[in-house]
Amino acid sequence: MTNAYNILNDPFLNKGTAFTKSERESLGLIGALPAKVQTIDEQATRIYDQDQLHEKGIDQRKFLMELFNTNRTLFYYVIEQHIEELMPIIYDPVIAPAIEEYSEIFMKPQGAAFLSIDNPGEIEASLTNAAGGRKIKLIVVTDGEGILGIGDWGSNGVNISVGKLMVYTAAAGIDPREVLPIVLDVGTDNQTLIDDPLYLGEKHARVTGDKYYDFVDKFVKIARKVFPDVYIHFEDFGRDNATKILNKYRKEIPVFNGDVQGTGIVCLAGVLGVLNISKQKFSDQIFLTFGAGTAGMGIANMMYREMLVEGMDPEEAKKHFYLVDKQGLLFSDTPGITPEQRPFVRERSEFVNADELTNLEAVIKTVHPTVMIGTSTTPGAFTEKAIKEMATHTERPIIFPISNPTKLIEASAEDLIKWTDGRALVATGVPSDPVKYNGVTYHIGQANNALIYPGLGLGVLASKAKLVTDEMLSAAAHSLGGIVDPNEKGASVLPPISKIRIFSDKEAISVAQTAIDQKLATPNITDAKAATENIKWIPKY
Ligand SMILES: NC(=O)c1ccc[n+]([C@@H]2O[C@H](COP(=O)([O-])OP(=O)(O)OC[C@H]3O[C@@H](n4cnc5c(N)ncnc54)[C@H](O)[C@@H]3O)[C@@H](O)[C@H]2O)c1
Ligand SMILES: O=C(O)C[C@H](O)C(=O)O
Ligand SMILES: [Mn+2]
């Protein structure tokens, strides 16, 4: 192939119409492009205008993916110029149909590595091939079992790895040449995919048990061998595996789970944001977790640790938590308690009406939560009656319905504001428009782990941290304050996506500093700010 062909088809080298006259001469591109030499701004305007012509989000996404495949610099330039508008297109919520229809709309593998449990001997070659000689520092990996709240999407789930990595670069300037999206294809229990003649993954039931864990372990070991010091972000694993896998590796290598830890950090940051507005105390809060799965328990643990950091006795702190799942309030004798739920379950003897606590409303009436977080994948579960009940016992109810995508949200921000007469402090997992109520415009924070994992990652990579500790996670959560003015009427409980570059930087520095303080950073890294600045990638030619 000619040089021109190779360059114009390499998303890391291609500048398209922005190649200058002299570059065209020296690279053998003469005549391979139209005459006009454009600036990146001119290119970006053209791309943005074209993208706007598509009515549906999924079509906008397809158009942007073409750009992603051909010119990564311009792609990120456009995304950064319009981050608030385009993040929902490249990420949640439009990522959900893009995953469901992945096999149907497949065009290019987008540089991902597809690792099949049927061929564990190919892991090393697959990683090497997908990296194509690039030095990989960050991996996002999924096994596709628990994609957002939409369940098992098998190897289609690779799109969540691709999408999460896009946010890393757009939000925190992680170098896109140093990242690798991965799917562990261990089969699928989704009959729709098995029946779909176009499905591109392995067509058999999910492999479980030892064979599954051995495969995950092989992947981790080989990835760390092929890409020394690589930071591994696990995403959208199933409820039985997510925390188990995280705990297996987190004391040995730098790993992170987006759903467990990421959601925990962003919700803690949200509650801290609320308390800045309402001037209440963290240690006075009563937490109700609705949907005590991967994310729900990640959040409960993060809040619990914050109680301990504030000096509360562990047994006393536990009393601030109530878990509600399909079975109702979770008791020590409730069938089907998970290992993660076990430390937070209650005793029936604590309640005179324990047997009645089988639905959300009854639980609210009895335990009077001040904070309620929805991670149940159950749309409409926060009913008007339940919310009004909550609001009779607390002046400023803190309510975060964060199930994704949009169709699974427990209640809309608008309803929550109306039902509580503007008293609720709300954040949602998907972006929500501001709510106008009684002359006040309420800005709704997005409690999505995307707000915080990019900054955390930048801090981990900048400090070359050996591990990701609870202290680093806590630093990440605390770093988000000070951006929103809490005294403004209708203020958001979390900073807006439009400022994500600013707060990601702040967060990264705080995380890197914690790694340095904990002696987990590489010894020659002593200045968190400089280290963070040094590794940041900026989309420019
Ligand atoms: N905003 C964010 O950053 C963020 C992060 C992670 C997950 N989430 C969302 O949270 C939801 C859950 O994700 P997960 O990974 O924890 O899934 P999961 O399957 O691990 O947990 C879901 C839990 O909800 C419970 N549940 C189901 N129906 C219920 C009902 N009717 N009442 C009470 N509980 C019920 C399940 O039994 C399970 O324990 C998803 O919609 C996901 O998109 C959001
Ligand atoms: O992907 C998201 O939007 C957040 C979260 O990781 C989820 O699984 O819902
Ligand atoms: Mn997730």
Q: Are strands 425-428 and 398-401 parallel, antiparallel or unpaired?
A: parallel
Q: What's the longest Cα–Cα distance across the chain? A: 83
The answer to whether position 60 is within a domain reads: yes
State how far the Cα of 420 lies from the Cα of 430, in Å rounded to an integer: 21
Verify whether ligand 2 is closer than 6 Å to residue 306 (CB atom).
no
Q: Ligand 3 centre from 147 Cα, in Å? A: 6
pLDDT of residue 101: 97
User: 15, 137, 164, 464: which one is catalytic?
Assistant: 164
| Active-site residue flag, 529 | no
Ligand 1 atom closest to Cα of 146? Answer: 15
Only one residue has tokens 């061998």, namely 225
- Which residue, among 100, 146, 92, 95, has the nearest Cα to 402 in the 3D structure? 92
Report whether the peptide linkage leading into residue 405 is cis, meaning its omega lies within 30 degrees of zero: yes
User: What is the complex's ipTM, to 2 decimals?
Assistant: 0.99
* Cα distances (angstroms) measured from residue 510 to each of 162, 189, 251, 385, 533: 26, 41, 21, 42, 13
In a domain, 541, yes or no: no
* pLDDT of amino acid 3: 87
Which residue, 85, 119, 149, sits at the end of a domain? 85
pLDDT at 1: 61
pLDDT at 236: 98
Identity of the residue numbered 369 = P
Write 382-385 long-range contacts (CB < 8 A, 24+).
382/290, 382/410, 382/411, 382/416, 383/411, 384/415, 384/419, 385/361
Measured over the CA atoms of residue 6, residue 9, residue 13 and residue 15, the dihedral's sign is positive
> Does ligand 2 have an atom closer than 6 angstroms to the CB of 258?
yes
Residue 444 and residue 473 in one domain: no
What's the DSSP call for residue 497? G
| 425 shares its domain with 329 | yes
If asked whether residues 233 and 128 sit together in one domain, one would say yes
Q: Does 310 lie in the same domain as 211?
A: no
In a domain, 298, yes or no: yes
Pairwise CA distance, residues 512 & 531, whole Å: 8
What's 351's domain CATH number?
3.40.50.720
| Domain hosting residue 33, numbered range | 4-85
Q: How far is the CA of 148 from the centre of ligand 3 (A)?
A: 5
Alpha carbon of 449 to ligand 3 centroid (Å): 8
Q: Are residues 352 and 435 in the same domain?
A: yes
Asked whether residue 475 falls in the same domain as residue 497, the answer is yes
Among 202, 229, 257, identify where a domain stops: 257
Q: Does 448 belong to an annotated binding site?
A: yes
For residues 233 and 288, state if they share a domain.
no
- Last residue of some domain: 257, 277, 304? 257
Q: What is the CATH number of the domain that holds 172?
A: 3.40.50.10380
Same structural domain for residues 110 and 251? yes
Ligand 3 ion local residues (Cβ < 5 A): 236, 259
Name the pTM for this structure: 0.98
pLDDT value at residue 454 = 98
pLDDT value of residue 531: 98
Tally of structural domains, the chain:
4
From the alpha carbon of 259, which atom of ligand 2 is closest? 6
Pair (239, 281) in one structural domain: no
Statement to judge: residues 242 and 198 lie in one domain? yes
- Catalytic pick among 76, 77, 91, 168: 91
Backbone torsions φ then ψ of 271, nearest 5 degrees:
-65, -40
CATH code for the domain of 61: 1.20.1370.30
Do the Cβ atoms of 374 and 400 come closer than 8 Å?
yes
Q: How far is the C-alpha of 42 from the C-alpha of 18, rounded, in Å?
A: 9
Contacts of 390 (CB under 8 A, 6+ apart): 364, 368, 369, 372, 397, 399
- Give the tokens for residue 219: 């992947």
CB contact burial 124-137 (16+ within 10 A = b; e otherwise): eebbeebbeebebb
Q: Which among 423, 414, 412, 357 has a CA at the least distance from the CA of 390? A: 423
Among residues 458, 452, 450, the alpha carbon closest in space to that of 537 is found at: 458
Question: pLDDT tens track of the chain, all 541 residues?
Answer: 668 899 999 999 999 999 999 999 999 999 999 999 999 999 999 999 999 999 999 999 999 999 999 999 999 999 999 999 999 999 999 999 999 999 999 999 999 999 999 999 999 999 999 999 999 999 999 999 999 999 999 999 999 999 999 999 999 999 999 999 999 999 999 999 999 999 999 999 999 999 999 999 999 999 999 999 999 999 999 999 999 999 999 999 999 999 999 999 999 999 999 999 999 999 999 999 999 999 999 999 999 999 999 999 999 999 999 999 999 999 999 999 999 999 999 999 999 999 999 999 999 999 999 999 999 999 999 999 999 999 999 999 999 999 999 999 999 999 999 999 999 999 999 999 999 999 999 999 999 999 999 999 999 999 999 999 999 999 999 999 888 899 999 999 999 999 999 999 999 999 999 999 999 999 999 999 999 999 999 999 9
Q: For residue 205, report the distance from its CA to the centre of ligand 2, in Å.
A: 24
The C-alpha angle 442, 373, 189, rounded to 5 degrees, equals 120
Q: What's the burial of 164, exposed, middle or buried (CB within 10 Å: 0-12/13-18/19+)?
A: buried
Question: Are residues 242 and 299 located together in one domain of the fold?
Answer: no
* Cis omega (within 30 of 0) for bond into 343: no
Q: How far apart are CA 340 and CA 528, in angstroms?
A: 34
Residue from 152, 263, 265 to probe ligand 2 pocket by mutation (most atoms less than 8 Å from CB): 263
- Residues 228, 113: one domain? yes
